[in-house]
């Protein structure tokens, strides 16, 4: 019985992408989708949410002498 081919959804276009060593662009379906995603990260379209740094002076730490 042959092994079932595993496919995943391309994170860029939503198409089917084979998940095997022959697909050098995985998890993307093509070089185009991989480069579009890389460009979005490079242009900071994708961002990890952070909290604003507190304003004011930094906390006082005890001196170690």
Please, which residues have CB within 8 angstroms of residue 13's CB and are 6 or more apart in sequence? 29, 33
**Arithmetic mean of pLDDT, 11-18:** 95
DSSP 15-31: -EEE-STT-TTTTSSSH
Report the predicted TM-score, pTM, of the whole model to 2 decimal places: 0.64
State mean pLDDT over 50-65. Answer: 74
As assigned by CATH, the class of the 7-42 domain is: alpha beta
Percentage of residues in the chain with pLDDT exceeding 70? 88
Domain boundaries, the chain: 7-42
Q: What is the pLDDT of residue 2?
A: 63
**Rounded Cα gap, residues 11 and 17, in angstroms:** 9
Quick: pLDDT tens for 35-53: 999 999 999 888 888 887 7
């Amino acid at each position: 019985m042959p092994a079932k081919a595993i496919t995943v959804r391309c994170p860029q276009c939503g198409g089917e992408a084979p998940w095997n060593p022959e697909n050098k662009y995985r998890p993307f379906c093509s070089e185009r989708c991989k480069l579009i995603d890389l460009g979005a990260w490079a242009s900071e379209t994708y961002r990890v949410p952070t909290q604003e740094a507190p304003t004011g002076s930094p906390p006082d730490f005890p001196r170690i002498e």
